[in-house]
Amino acid sequence: MSLEETATEKQTLAGWVLILLGLALVMFPIFWILSTSLKSIGEWVTYPPIFIPERLAVENYLSIFTGGALGGGFVARVPNVTKSVIDSAICSVGGTAISIIVGLLAAFGIARHRIGGEFFPIFLLSARMAPPIVAAIPLLILYSIIGLVDTHIGLIIAYACFTLPYSTWMIASFIEEIPRDLEDAAQVDGMSTLETHFKVTLPLIKGGIAATALFIFILNWSEFLLALTLTHEKVLTIPVQIKAFFTYSGQLYGPQSAFGVIAIIPLIAFSLIIQRHLVRGLTFGAIKG
Amino acid sequence: MTEIKLIKLRKEFNSLVAVNDLTLTIDDGALISLLGPSGCGKTTTLRMIAGLTSPTSGEIYFDDKLVNDLRPQERNVGLVFQDYAIFPNMNAFDNIAFGLKIRGLSKEEVKKKVLEVAELLNIKAILNVMPRKMSLSEMQSVALARTLVTNPSVLLLDEPLSNLDAALRARMRAELKRLQREIGQTVIYVTHDQLEAIAISDKIAVMNLGILHQYDTPEAIYNKPKTKFVAGFIGSPPMNFIECTFIEEDGGLLDLGVARINVSEYKDVIKRECSSAEVTLGVRPEDIRINHRRMSENSVEVRVEAYEPLGSEAVIDTELGGVLVRITAPITFTVKAGDKAYIEFDRRKIHIIDRKTERVVI
């Protein structure tokens, strides 16, 4: 074995150690939430901490969907989360869909036609530089006037608006990666400008749109402040309800963690489904032409 | 199969004039080049002819029909892009078939035409290959096939060979010329490579900064340039320019500072055409003779700065009164840097340029 090979092997090893360290850092909270979600009441806050629960306390999961009581040393009512999962799904999917569709149209306008001038994209993004609370309160007042407070459609509109700058920016950058010549070539062959956008460029940025959609979905799914401000009881999203696990009889760490695990599942599922596109979308610049 | 006429064609991007009142007639079935450095407006001109960019003012005629307001597909033009613009998500066949499908041809017709053009360009073997697995020359052929298959009456080529290496470029150049002769389309070829333009074109339009400097046959562009820009842009190594003053002594002299040369045969033309006595002498490297000894009373002494043998000939850099004068000489003539030598201009082939207007008067 030559010296060079040894050096390479050492580098590979060092690389793996770094990757494992990084993974441990990212994965530990998820492991901890998973572990806690399966702990019985007595194990939630013990010291020294328990990493692997003795008995898998499935009742944590059952209780949050039945809204039942949790027995043991004390009895506490566990909130029923079924509705909040559905509400979150409606608002996040709705908000993401509108944000992506409108963002796509805006992105074509910006990337291909320079609509709004040179500084428009920056201007668009600057809308997101202020803390969200600055917009949330006026939005609540507006919503109460037109009757959108505590409605799905109200939250969907808010989510679409708040994520629109991101989706526009991201999709515009993906469009700019596709050479304009492709559209021109199709135009010489007889396509209209609109057709060249949707039949030539759009199929080539599918990966980018998938990546953007995932990003926007995560933002919406985990959004707390707007949901807290604009809804109270008819609509209740997961992040708002997770907070509701502080009860008079203490904090219900087990069911709360179980709820947390449930909240992560759609994100993981979504990522897996679009994984193929995601890798392409997130490394777009690297594999261009 | 189409004669193209551009009349006072102009394109402005904000304050920049990309194409400045260009008037040009391209004969039916001719192959012409738009030649110039990057940013000279040649691609913009091409895009205006294709209909992808609308002119600020001016008119474009195809066979006496005004096409300004026609969309690209209504002009029946074919455009090959510098970076080929092949759809990366389609194989060669689908790329070539793209335009035919849009035009609504039946499946059999599409197949027949694609195979025909693939035969013509020798790419039948790669019809199932995806673009990312093609070589540059294959991509180039596919791009050309995709354009030819729709049988456009005008073929526009935007630096189609610039991505290829030198050997391949020479081969594709010959191939293009053969194709053009076979198909007989009007071809407009955009390039910044003067050798390519000279080799391929019936006529060359030399442009700089949006202005057409000369539109002529390759021979005329080389031998009778009309402006200093054309004189300097065409030819390799480029033409030497030496600033001098015209004096009416001994029947007419050019004063180079360190030497004077007799130009009595051009005296009348210089007096008539030049705005002042301040002129520039232009002379190509191959039109200068060099020797170790004085050849005649017109010989001028120079100092050799560099000697570069290039196989069949040598390029010699010399210094004449602070000005670099480049000479090509037979390889049998050898000098070394620092040597003294004598040069003599071939007076039949010199050019005299009005320094103020940059017009070549001789």
Confidence (pLDDT) at B163: 81
Decide if B160 touches A, using CB distance below 8 A: no
Confidence (pLDDT) at A102: 97
DSSP letters along A90-142, please? HHHHHHHHHHHHHHHHHHHHHHHH-TT-TTHHHHHHHTTTS-HHHHHHHHHHH
Contact A215, A166 (CB under 8 A): yes
B87 CA: distance to closest CA in chain A (Å): 7
Q: What is the DSSP letter of B287?
A: G
Number of cross-chain residue pairs from A and B with Cβ atoms under 8 Å apart: 54
Report CA-CA distances (Å) from B130 to B22, B90, B133, B141, B239.
Answer: 40, 6, 6, 14, 46
Confidence (pLDDT) at A59: 85
Whether the predicted pLDDT of A287 surpasses 60? no
| CB-based contact A190 B89, cutoff 8 Å | no
When scoring A112, A113, A183, A188 by the number of chain B Cβ atoms within 10 A, the one with the most, hence best to mutate, is A188
A287 CA: distance to closest CA in chain B (Å): 10
| CB-based contact A188 B78, cutoff 8 Å | yes
| CB-based contact B89 A203, cutoff 8 Å | yes
DSSP letters along B40-99, please? SSHHHHHHHHHTSS--SEEEEEETTEE-TTS-HHHHTEEEE-TT----TTS-HHHHHHHH
Contact B139, B131 (CB under 8 A): yes
In terms of pLDDT, which residue wins out, B176 or A196? A196
The residues, any chain, with a CB within 8 Å of residue B286's CB and separated by 6 or more, are: B328
| CB-based contact B88 A203, cutoff 8 Å | no
| CB-based contact A189 B150, cutoff 8 Å | yes
Q: What is the largest CA-CA distance in chain A?
A: 77
Confidence (pLDDT) at B213: 95
For A197, list phi and psi in degrees, rounded to 5. -65, -50
A210 CA: distance to closest CA in chain B (Å): 17
The residues, any chain, with a CB within 8 Å of residue A105's CB and separated by 6 or more, are: none
| CB-based contact A191 B102, cutoff 8 Å | yes
Per-residue pLDDT band for A285 (boundaries 50, 70, 90) equals very low
Whether the predicted pLDDT of A229 surpasses 90? yes
Q: Cα(B158)–Cα(A29) distance, rounded to whole angstroms? A: 57
Confidence (pLDDT) at B302: 92
When scoring A114, A189, A192 by the number of chain B Cβ atoms within 10 A, the one with the most, hence best to mutate, is A189
Torsion of CA B323, B328, B333, B334, to 10 degrees: 50
Burial grade of B65 (CB within 10 A; 0-12, 13-18, 19 or more): exposed
Model pLDDT for residues B136-185, shown as the tens digit of each residue: 889 988 998 999 898 898 999 999 888 888 888 888 888 888 888 888 88
Model pLDDT for residues B193-226, shown as the tens digit of each residue: 998 999 899 999 999 999 999 999 999 999 999 9
Q: Helices A132-146 and A152-177: crossing angle, nearest 10°?
A: 130
Which chain B residues contact residue A191 at CB under 8 A? 73, 102
| CB-based contact B79 A182, cutoff 8 Å | no
User: Which stretch of A53-62, B226-235, B327-336, B350-359 has the lowest confidence by average pLDDT?
Assistant: A53-62
Per-residue pLDDT band for B6 (boundaries 50, 70, 90) equals very high
Q: Cα(B34)–Cα(A103) distance, rounded to whole angstroms? A: 40
A-proximal residues of B, 38-77, CB under 8 Å: 47, 50-52, 71-73, 77
Cβ count within 10 A of residue A182: 21
Torsion of CA B189, B192, B196, B201, to 10 degrees: 40
Decide if B210 touches A, using CB distance below 8 A: no
User: Helices marked H in chain B — which ranges?
Assistant: 42-50, 72-75, 92-102, 107-121, 136-148, 166-183, 194-200, 218-223, 228-233, 267-273
Confidence (pLDDT) at B297: 81
- The whole-number average pLDDT for the span A234-238 is 93
Whether the predicted pLDDT of A73 surpasses 60? no
| CB-based contact A189 B77, cutoff 8 Å | no
Report CA-CA distances (Å) from A171 to A51, A157, A166, A178.
Answer: 42, 20, 8, 11
A189 CA: distance to closest CA in chain B (Å): 5
SS3 category, B116: helix
Contact B121, B149 (CB under 8 A): no
Per-residue pLDDT band for A288 (boundaries 50, 70, 90) equals very low
Which chain B residues contact residue A189 at CB under 8 A? 73, 98-99, 102-103, 150
- Mean pLDDT of all residues belonging to chain B: 91
Whether the predicted pLDDT of A144 surpasses 50? yes
- The whole-number average pLDDT for the span A243-257 is 81
Model pLDDT for residues B262-289, shown as the tens digit of each residue: 888 888 888 888 888 899 999 999 999 9
When scoring B46, B67, B82, B84 by the number of chain A Cβ atoms within 10 A, the one with the most, hence best to mutate, is B84
Whether the predicted pLDDT of B295 surpasses 60? yes
Contact A168, A121 (CB under 8 A): yes
Report CA-CA distances (Å) from A49 to A45, A220, A262, B147, B291.
Answer: 7, 33, 23, 71, 97
Which chain B residues contact residue A284 at CB under 8 A? none
- Which of A75-84, A96-105, B310-319 reaches the highest mean pLDDT? A96-105
Confidence (pLDDT) at A279: 67
Confidence (pLDDT) at B166: 83
- Among residues of chain B, what percentage have pLDDT more than 90? 62
Cβ count within 10 A of residue B188: 27
Model pLDDT for residues B92-141, shown as the tens digit of each residue: 999 999 999 998 899 999 999 999 999 888 899 999 999 999 998 899 88
Q: Cα(B185)–Cα(A36) distance, rounded to whole angstroms? A: 76
A196 CA: distance to closest CA in chain B (Å): 12
Q: Which helix (H) or strand (E) holds B345?
A: strand B340-345
DSSP letters along chain A, please? --HHHHHHHHHHHHHHHHHHHHHHHHHHHHHHHHHHHT--GGGTT-SSPPSS-SS--THHHHHHHHT-EE-SSS-EEPPP-HHHHHHHHHHHHHHHHHHHHHHHHHHHHHHHH-TT-TTHHHHHHHTTTS-HHHHHHHHHHHHHHHT-TT-HHHHHHHHHHHHHHHHHHHHHHHHHHS-HHHHHHHHHTT--HHHIIIIIIHHHTHHHHHHHHHHHHHHHHT--HHHHHH-SSSS--HHHHHHTTEETTEE-HHHHHHHHHHHHHHHHHHHHHTHHHHHHHHTGGGG--
Whether the predicted pLDDT of B66 surpasses 80? yes
Nearest-by-Cβ selection for A189 from B82, B84, B98: B98
Mark out chain A residues that contact chain B at CB-CB < 8 A: 179, 181-182, 184-191, 200, 203-204, 289
CATH topology of domain B237-354: OB fold (Dihydrolipoamide Acetyltransferase, E2P) (2.40.50)
Decide if B130 touches A, using CB distance below 8 A: no
| CB-based contact B83 A179, cutoff 8 Å | yes
Which chain A residues contact residue B103 at CB under 8 A? 189-190
Decide if B338 touches A, using CB distance below 8 A: no
B114 CA: distance to closest CA in chain A (Å): 15
Q: Cα(B329)–Cα(B288) distance, rounded to whole angstroms? A: 8
Which chain B residues contact residue A185 at CB under 8 A? 79, 81, 85, 146
Given the candidates 3.40.50.300, 3.30.56.10, 3.90.1150.50, 2.102.10.10, the CATH classification of the domain at B4-228 is: 3.40.50.300
Query: What own/partner pairs with CB < 8 Å and gap ≥ 24 does A265-269 have?
Result: A266/A89, A266/A221, A267/A217, A267/A218, A267/A221
Tokens linked to A60 = 């944590």
Which chain B residues contact residue A208 at CB under 8 A? none
- The whole-number average pLDDT for the span A179-183 is 92
- The whole-number average pLDDT for the span A168-180 is 92
Burial grade of B348 (CB within 10 A; 0-12, 13-18, 19 or more): exposed
Q: Which pTM does this prediction carry?
A: 0.79
ipTM: 0.79
Tokens linked to B124 = 């039948």
Nearest CA in chain A to B149: A189
| CB-based contact A181 B78, cutoff 8 Å | no
SS3 category, B151: coil
Whether the predicted pLDDT of A1 surpasses 70? no
| CB-based contact A190 B99, cutoff 8 Å | yes
How many alpha carbons fall within 13 Å on the CB side of residue A135?
14
Domain boundaries, chain B: 4-228, 237-354
Q: Helices A82-113 and A253-273: crossing angle, nearest 10°?
A: 40
Which chain A residues contact residue B13 at CB under 8 A? none
Residue type, B80: V
Q: Are strands B65-66 and B77-80 parallel, antiparallel or unpaired?
A: unpaired
Contact A224, A239 (CB under 8 A): yes
Nearest to B77 by CA among B183, B131, B159, B151: B151
- Among residues of chain A, what percentage have pLDDT more than 90? 54
Which chain A residues contact residue B85 at CB under 8 A? 179, 181-182, 184-185
Report CA-CA distances (Å) from B27 to B6, B62, B68, B206.
Answer: 12, 10, 19, 17
Length of chain A: 289
